[in-house]
Homo-oligomer: A and B are copies of this chain.
Amino acid sequence: MRNDDRRERLRTALIDAAEATIAADGLSALKARELARDVGCALGAIYTVFPDLDALILAVNLRTLTLFEQAITAVRIAPEPAGAATPAERDAAVEALVRLAVAYLDFAAAHATRWRALFQHRTEALPDWYLVEQVRLFRYIEAPLRVLRPDLGEPDRALLARSLFSATHGLVSLGLDEKLMVLSEPVLRGQIEIVVGALGRGLAGE
């Protein structure tokens, strides 16, 4: 039992240290040797609690997803209408989609290194438990979609939620990134409001 406690403490200490490194300097700064030094363990001890560094990075990314979930639970989303949605209820659902997208921009801008690590991290295949956590976050997008597209079944709505996330991610990542000309945050916010707003209204009009 005490052995399990020690393992758990080491695991937590390693995640803490890796999280701090990624937050400060990005994923590329993460080195096993420096982690071991930060935590005060032998290099090999890392691999007694994580199969490899990828698994440790996934544990950090899971914390990032949780942090993001805290940010979006703060987004006020109107309750779902009981029957057919009124125009005002549809407007509120479009507004909810816009707010979620803006919350994603805000999160990416505020936690740039952590956010980038979610996508830089390359592993053979993401484990199921991690994919489940990602998919769980799409539920926040599904709620307004239920109002805008009550005709869609559960799988189609889940797929569409993922696509709305992907489109928003494209706006945010190419907006903040240096691949095209970088946009200022207020300009990017304005574009997200225009594009996601139009998208929501277009979906509602079908």
Contact = CB atoms under 8 A, between A and B. Distances in A.
Interface of A: 118-119, 125-126, 131, 134, 159-160, 162-171, 173-175, 178-181, 187, 191-192, 194-195, 197-203, 205-206
A170 B171 CA distance: 7
Contact of A174 (B169, B201, B202): B169
Judged by DSSP, the binding face of A is helix
A197 B203 CA distance: 9
B199 A163 contact: no
A148 to B, nearest CB: 9
Nearest to A188: B163
A203 to B, nearest CB: 4
A178 B160 CA distance: 18
A72 B32 CA distance: 46
A192 B163 CA distance: 8
Contacts of A118: 179
A131 B178 CA distance: 11
Q: Residue among A134, A163, A178 with the most chain B CB within 10 A?
A: A163
Contacts of A192: 163
A15 B58 CA distance: 38
